Amino acid sequence: MKEKVREIFKSYFPGFILGIISVSIITVYAETFFPSNQTTYDNSVSGLKSENVQDAIDELYGVCFPPKAGDQILENAGLEKDPYECRYFFTGANPNNYITFNNEKAGWRIISIECDGTIKIIKEEDINSNDGCTGEWDDKSYSNTWDKTTLNKYLNETYYNSFTEETKAQIVLHDWNIGIMESDYENMLDQINAENSTKWQAKIALITVSEYLRTNSDNNCLPVNKYNSNFRPYNDNLCLDTTWISDHRGSWSLTKKVDPYNQSLPIYYSTTISTEVISMFIHPTLYLSPDIKITGGNGSQSNPFELSL
């Protein structure tokens, strides 16, 4: 029996060892030529942005795909890095942030480029003339949070289903900040934290109050100075001339505020930022897929960005 084992060992051991060596060599070569995205390296000397080997190769030698729209748009003048969150906003009176979306040439504008690569856009014209769009936040009851409102239902059912299938494919399900303001905050960070305290996932919603404020390019209109005891911009005319998103008629935001009577009422933006219980104009807002690419245009109203998946 022992002799038999020795014969088997002598016959197969060399091949076994060679097999181990071969597998090891193949593994080494595979790691060399096909690095994993998890394979990191020290990029402090190279000057590359990438922190893993495969992305560094792509960065050095290029990739076969056009850059995503968010990367392309970030190079456009008018975008400001947000000091509060990982976002880039279009600010000022009339930046080049027009896009063609849902076959509406220059019918939508880009609010921001998000950290997750999505592009947040808003419809330029209101939809109050659409069938079923009453302009009410929630059938004038206003007691519900956004996720339970009739406007949320209208936007994500009736309005969303009016889009073509090609358009729907460009929209992503996304988190929306629907937190309620408990008071008139003295700084933007408190405002943002209040909005971000509650989230809701949907395809379509509205802008928040803090987003409206952050589209302003005038430092005198920034949130630290923006509110007085009546929750109005301290210098209406100046502030309205330095943001592209103003609507003098009054448009709904996604944000609600608790009033002195302990009621939470939706906030609208116009020549003031205030709460009300009447119909307002509605500008749908949504997130485009991070895989969207620019295929033409420069973002101006006459030559808007053309986007496609």
pLDDT tens across 48-72, in order?
Answer: 556 665 555 555 544 444 567 877 7
Q: Which residues of 36-64 are buried (b: 16+ CB within 10 A; e: fewer)?
A: eeeeeeeeeeeeeebebbebbeeeeeeee
- SS3 breakdown of the chain: % helix, strand, coil, rounded to 5? 30, 25, 45
| Cβ-contact 155, 205 below 8 angstroms | yes
Q: Which residues of 188-214 are buried (b: 16+ CB within 10 A; e: fewer)?
A: bebbbebbeeeebebbbbbbbbbbbbb
How many CB atoms sit inside 10 A of residue 97's CB? 29
pLDDT score of 259:
80
Structure tokens at 52: 């893993």
What confidence tens digit (pLDDT) does each residue in 74-116 have?
766 668 888 889 899 999 889 999 999 999 999 999 999 998 9
* pLDDT range class, residue 29, cuts 50, 70, 90: very low
Tell me the average pLDDT of the chain: 78
CA dist., res. 251 & res. 77, Å (int):
27
Tell me the one-letter amino acid at 131.
D
For residue 8, pLDDT beyond 90: no
Instruction: State how far the alpha carbon of 278 is from the alpha carbons of 230, 266, 292, in Å.
Output: 18, 10, 37
User: Higher model confidence: residue 38 or residue 176?
Assistant: 176
CA dist., res. 149 & res. 257, Å (int):
15
